[in-house]
Amino acid sequence: MGADISVPIDASGGHHGICENDREGETMATLKDVAREAGLTVGTVSRVLNNRGYISEQTREKVYDVMKRLNYQPNEMARSLSKQTSNTIGVIVPHIVHPFFSKVISNLEQAAYSSQYRILLFNSKEKEEKEEEYIEACRSNRVAGVILCSGSFNTAKFKNLGFPLITIERFLDEGTAGIECDNYSGGVQAAEHLIERGCRHLLHIGGVNELPMPADSRKAAFDEVCRRHGVEHHAVDPGQVFYDDMNYYPVIRSALEQYPETDGIFASSDVIAAQAIRVCHEKNIEVPGQMKIVGFDDVNIASLTYPAITTVRQPVKEMAEAAVSAVVRSAAGEMVPARSVFPVSLVIREST
């Protein structure tokens, strides 16, 4: 498989074929068999399988226990045709190797699985033609909805999709609902922390600046706090090329040469913060003695570097659960909030 990903993910590892039982000589269990064995109506079993309406956890477990005992395999194709949708959620991300998006994907898959859904994963690399193609693939696969963590093309193409469109950390007027963290609060917490630690010459290193995104408010908040405290501050925006390669080393090195008095860095991601530590090491700048560094996201790399990175934690698990819930509820005809903002928190480690 190449770099482009279009993969149905099923955490259970089970087989999802069209035939209910393709082994010769065996009698296929039917929905009626499951209902009779569980002591329930066919309608109740059907609601469990299609995740419709309220079903108690006890009833749900009973149905799945009977299905397992009878080796009942739901006919996914027939179910999707009858419902006009499948129990699949499309997920489009700009990168699968970036630690933040890897964490998002993992939590989305778990949240979907808990709701009896699977995810269909697409890796767009922020290319417009791929994103358009993947949206069409989601439509043809009758997905219940799409969760978009990427978005670099004409938003008008999102109109009249016929399924819910949920965004994570992206602006999209045509979307059904947007899930964000409180980026502004994160910028405030990072700046206040660096200033409290004695920093007076601060540097902000951002991410992509071609498109307006919720993360832009991290820098806006950082600038505002620095001005309020009368602290000198500068900003560097690496741009798309460095974001695509996740290689911020030359940008960080150049910025520290341009602003040699810098004693505190607010990096817009933990990936950038980790590379800032490396640059400081090569330039014999002691962290946190001479330079204090704060990242953003709290992905695994933040606790693996030396020194470990102080960072602003995004509640990715909660955000993923909210995104999946928005798809499920919206697909069922329920109203969902147009925008949900989740609080962030500062995790203090060795880099400050």
In CATH terms, is domain 87-181+317-343 a member of 3.90.920.10? no
pLDDT band at 85 (very low <50, low <70, confident <90, very high): low
Q: What is the pLDDT of residue 69?
A: 87
| pLDDT tens per residue, range 282-305 | 999 999 999 999 999 999 999 999
Q: What pTM was estimated for this model as a whole?
A: 0.76
pLDDT for the residue numbered 6: 47
Among the listed residues 188, 88, 189, 179, the one whose alpha carbon sits nearest the alpha carbon of residue 140: 88
Instruction: Please check whether the two domains, 87-181+317-343 and 183-314, share a CATH topology.
Output: yes
Cβ contacts of 251 within 8 Å, gap of 6 or more: 205, 236, 238, 242
pLDDT at 175: 77
What is the predicted pLDDT for the residue at 30? 84
What's the pLDDT band for 13 if we cut at 50, 70, 90?
A: very low
Predicted local confidence at residue 190, as pLDDT: 98
Q: What pLDDT was estimated at residue 154?
A: 54
For residues 135 and 338, which has the higher predicted lDDT (pLDDT)? 338
Distance between CA atoms of residues 72 and 48, nearest Å: 14
pLDDT at site 226: 97
Task: Taking residues 133-146, report their average pLDDT.
Answer: 85
Compute the average pLDDT of residues 146-151.
83
Higher pLDDT, 210 or 168: 168
Can you give the residue ranges of every domain in the chain?
87-181+317-343, 183-314
- pLDDT surpasses 60 at 132: yes
Q: Which fold has domain 183-314?
A: Rossmann fold (3.40.50)
Confidence of residue 183 (pLDDT cuts 50, 70, 90): very high
What mean pLDDT value characterizes the chain? Answer: 84
Question: What's the whole-number mean pLDDT along residues 42-59?
Answer: 78
For 311-350, what is each residue's pLDDT tens digit? 999 999 999 999 999 999 988 888 899 999 999 999 999 9
| Least confident stretch, 70-74, 197-201, 213-217 | 70-74
pLDDT in tens, 201-238: 999 998 665 667 888 899 999 999 999 999 999 999 87
